[in-house]
Structure 1
C-alpha cells in the first residue's frame, strides 16, 4: 500500500472550536491546584528565590503558513537523526523536500493553511509557568520559551532571545530544556538536544569568547511517558469519546493507539522509543481498568526502507474487514494536533474507512489536566537538582555517534557524565 502521509508535521490553524478550548482551558487552569491559586508570571525574583528560571519547551514545530512548507521540509530532511539518508543526505534531503513540497502544501491547505503548534506550545508554556510561579516560588519567576527543530522559533533564535533577556553571557542563570515528546527517541528529543548543544557551543562555548562561569546552566527533562497527569489526560479524552457510543456497545469499542513510526534501523540500534510508547499505552489502559480491547499501531512511515509496524492505516482496514467498525484512534505520542492527526488520521484513515463508529480521541492541546501535569513534572525536576535522568546517560546499544556522546556528556554534568560511554 502506498504511503499516505509522509511526516510528523504538527500543523493546523486553530479553529473557532479550538479557540474556545483555549479559552475554556484558561478558565479551568486558574482553579486551585492542591489548595493554591495560580499566579501570573513575576518579572523579578521574589526574596529568597533562586530564579529567574527559563523553561524551554522543545518540539519539532511546523510551518505557520503554506509558504513556509519548503523551508520546513528542507530542515527536516537534512536531519539525519530523524530521517537517516546515508552519506548523500545533504544532496538527497533538499531534493526530496522540493519534490514533496506541493503535496504537503496541499495537505496543509486542506487542514486550514498552517500549523497551530507555535500557538499551542506558547500557550502551554505560559500557563505552565504561571502555575510554577505559585507552586515553586523558590525558582520563580519562570520565563516561557519555545524552541523548534525545523520551524520558527528555531533553537538558534530561542538561544539568542535567552541571551538578550539576561541569561548567560556572563550573567549565569538556570534554564530547563523540557522535551514535549513524552517518550524519548534519539530521532526526536535526541535531535533537539543535539541542536541545543550545538548552539550552546557556538554562542557560549570555549570558542565564543564567553566566560564559562557566566554561561547558562542547563538541565533536561528528557522523558515522562507514565506521568500520572499525562495518563489521566489521555484516559479522560478516551472516556469522553467512549461516552458518544451507545452504552451497550462501549465495552466492545476497539481502542487503537497510534504513534509515529521509526525506521527499523533505528529500532534495532536500541532506541528506547518503542518500549516507552508501550509503557504509556499500558498505563492508560490500566487507568481505564482494561475496559476495552486495544492495540498499538504505527503511522507515517516514509520511503522504501523497513519501518516499525503494524501500520495504523492497515490496522484499521483489516479490522473493518473483520467487522470491527467501532474504534477510537488515540494519538499517544504527541502533545498537540498536527498533520498526522488532522490529515492522516482524520481525513485519510478515518475518512476513508467510511464508518461513523470510527472516531478519534481529542489531542491534548489546551487540556488543563495536561498543563497541570507539565507544571508538576517541571517542579519535581527543579526540586531534584538533577541535570538529566539516569536513563538519558545510557546510549543506545548500537550508537556510534560522537555527537550524541558529547551532547549527553554535556547535559549529564559533572555528577553523571562518567556514566556516558
Structure 2
C-alpha cells in the first residue's frame, strides 16, 4: 500500500550530536547495586509546557517472580514480531508457553526466583532522570516510566499511568519512548513500538476520540537506536578491561573476546532486519576503543524453536574453541543493558558452568546494570534527542525490504508524523 505522505518528508534532519567526551572518563566509584527508589509523582497540568517530560524505558522485560513465568511466555510466544510461528500463532503460542513453563520456572528459581530486569530498568530510568533534571532544566521535571513488552509493567499499564499522571487526555505533555535495545530490530524495538502505538490509538487516538491527533494528546518521540554511542562503548570497554585484569599477564594478550547477542530467526534476517549490522557496529566500536588488541568473534544465543536462526551459537563456539585448546575466553553480552535470564542463567550456568565445565579461563564481564558511565550515556542520549526537535531517526522510517506488515507501516507513519507537533526546548 502506498503511503499518503512519504515518511522521510516528515522527519527533519537531526542536529549534529554534541561531543560527550568528558562523560566517559574512567569512573572510580563502585557500581550501585541497591533497589531503585520510588520517584516522586510528577503531574502534567500545563498544556503546551516543555516540561514535565515522561521518559519511558522500553524493553522485553522478564517475570519478577516464578508465578509470572507462564503469562510472560504466553505473551512472548504469541508475538509474531519476535518469534514468527505462522498463521496458527495464536494457538501455538499459548501451547508452547504451557509446555515450557515448568522448565523456565526452574531456571528463574536458580537465579534467585525472578528476573532483575525490572529492578535495573527502574533504577536506570530514575537515575537518568535525576541527571536530566540538572542538565536539561527546560524539559524538567523528568518522570521515569518502564514499559515491558511481555511482563509487568506492560505497555498498557504504563500508558494508563501516563494518563492518570496528567499526560495526554486533553492536557498535552511530552513523552519520550527510549528503547533499551541499543541495536534496532523489528523483533524487539519494532515490536515494542507497535505495542505502544496500539495502546496510544486505543486510549487517546483514533479509536478513542475519532481523531488521529486529538487536541491535548501526548506528543511522542522515540530514541530508536544507539549502537555506537560513545558512552555505551566506553561502559562496555571498561568492563572488558576490568575482566582482562583477572588473567595473568602472560595469558592476557591471547584471551578471546566473545561478544554474545540474542539471535534472530533467519526469516527475520533475510527480510532485511538491521539488527545484525547494528550489533556488529557496536562490536567494532568497542574493539576500536580497546585498540584492536584482542582476537574476537560475534556470536549469538537464545535460539528458540526448530527454525534456522542466526549463528554461530555462543554455546557451540565455546565448546569448539575449548576442543582446540583455546580456554581463555571472555563472554560479553553486547546487546543487553542489564542482567536477566540470558546472562545469569544461559551464559553463567549453561555456557560457563556446563559447556566450559566451569573452566577458570572462561569468564563473563559484569553487566551494565548500575554502571554510572552507562547511566551518564543514557542521559546524554536523552538530552541530545530532546534538543534535536525530531520524533525519530530517519533510519527508523525505512521499512525492511521484505516487510509486508501494515501495522508496522502505520506505526512508523505515526511516530514520524509527531515531528510536526514537537518543538525543541530552545525554540
Q: Who is 2:117 aligned against? A: 117
- Equivalent-residue separation in structure 2 for 1:24 and 1:107 (angstroms): 23
Cα contact 2:59–2:147 (8 A) shared by 1: yes
- Choose which of 304, 307, 310 in structure 1 pairs with 2:309: 307
> Which secondary structure state, in structure 2, belongs to the residue aligned with residue 51 of structure 1?
coil
Written as runs of structure 1 = structure 2, the 5 A alignment for 1:166-315 is 166-209=166-209, 212-315=214-317
Q: Who is 1:402 aligned against? A: 406
- Equivalent-residue separation in structure 2 for 1:254 and 1:375 (angstroms): 32
- Equivalent-residue separation in structure 2 for 1:141 and 1:416 (angstroms): 23
Deviations 1:226-275 (A, max 9, x none): 00000000000000000000011111100000000000000000000000
- Equivalent-residue separation in structure 1 for 2:32 and 2:106 (angstroms): 27
Q: Deviation of residue 25 (structure 1)?
A: 11
> Which secondary structure state, in structure 1, belongs to the residue aligned with residue 283 of structure 2?
helix
Deviations 1:198-245 (A, max 9, x none): 000000012213770110000000000000000000000000000000
Cα contact 2:43–2:167 (8 A) shared by 1: no
Q: Who is 2:343 aligned against? A: 341
Written as runs of structure 1 = structure 2, the 5 A alignment for 1:45-56 is 50-56=50-56
- Equivalent-residue separation in structure 2 for 1:162 and 1:42 (angstroms): 11
- Equivalent-residue separation in structure 1 for 2:256 and 2:279 (angstroms): 18
- Equivalent-residue separation in structure 1 for 2:202 and 2:50 (angstroms): 27
Q: Deviation of residue 115 (structure 1)?
A: 1.1
> Which secondary structure state, in structure 2, belongs to the residue aligned with residue 249 of structure 1?
helix
Q: 4+ residue stretches of structure 1 with deviation over 2 A?
A: 20-26, 40-45, 414-417
Q: Deviation of residue 50 (structure 1)?
A: 1.5
- Equivalent-residue separation in structure 2 for 1:209 and 1:218 (angstroms): 17
Cα contact 2:389–2:419 (8 A) shared by 1: no
When normalised by structure 2's length, the TM-score is 0.87
- Equivalent-residue separation in structure 2 for 1:69 and 1:118 (angstroms): 14
Deviations 1:134-177 (A, max 9, x none): 00011111110000001111000000000000000000100000
Q: Deviation of residue 324 (structure 1)?
A: 0.5
1:102 aligns with 2:106: no
- Equivalent-residue separation in structure 1 for 2:345 and 2:352 (angstroms): 10
- Equivalent-residue separation in structure 2 for 1:93 and 1:79 (angstroms): 8
Q: How many residues align?
A: 384
> Which secondary structure state, in structure 2, belongs to the residue aligned with residue 63 of structure 1?
coil
- Choose which of 349, 352, 365 in structure 2 pairs with 1:350: 352
Structure 1 gaps, min length 5: 1-19, 27-39
> Which secondary structure state, in structure 2, belongs to the residue aligned with residue 219 of structure 1?
strand
Greater shift in the superposed pair: 273-282 or 341-350: 341-350
Cα pair distance change 1:416/1:86, threshold 3 Å: farther
Cα contact 1:254–1:328 (8 A) shared by 2: yes
Structure 2 gaps, min length 5: 1-29, 422-427
Deviations 1:357-388 (A, max 9, x none): 00000100000000000000000000001100
When normalised by structure 1's length, the TM-score is 0.88
Cα contact 1:54–1:174 (8 A) shared by 2: yes
